[in-house]
Copies of this chain bind each other. A is one copy, B any other.
Amino acid sequence: MTDVIDVNQIKEILEDFAGRRDWNKFHNPKNLAMALAGEAGELLEIFQWLSETDAATAGDVAEIKENTSLELADILLYAIRLAARLNINLSDAIQRKIIINNEKYPVEKVKGSAKKYREY
Contacts and interface: CB of A to CB of B under 8 A. Distances in A.
Q: Determine which residue in A51, A83, A94, A97 has the highest number of CB atoms from chain B within 10 A of its CB, and name it.
A: A94
A49 B31 contact: yes
B91 A3 contact: yes
Copies in the complex: 4
Interface string A16-57: 010011110010111101111111111111111111100110
A79 B68 CA distance: 10
Interface of A: 1-8, 10, 13, 17, 20-23, 26, 28-31, 33-52, 55-56, 58-59, 64-65, 68-70, 72-77, 79, 82-83, 85-94, 96-98, 100-102, 105, 107, 110-112, 114, 117-118, 120
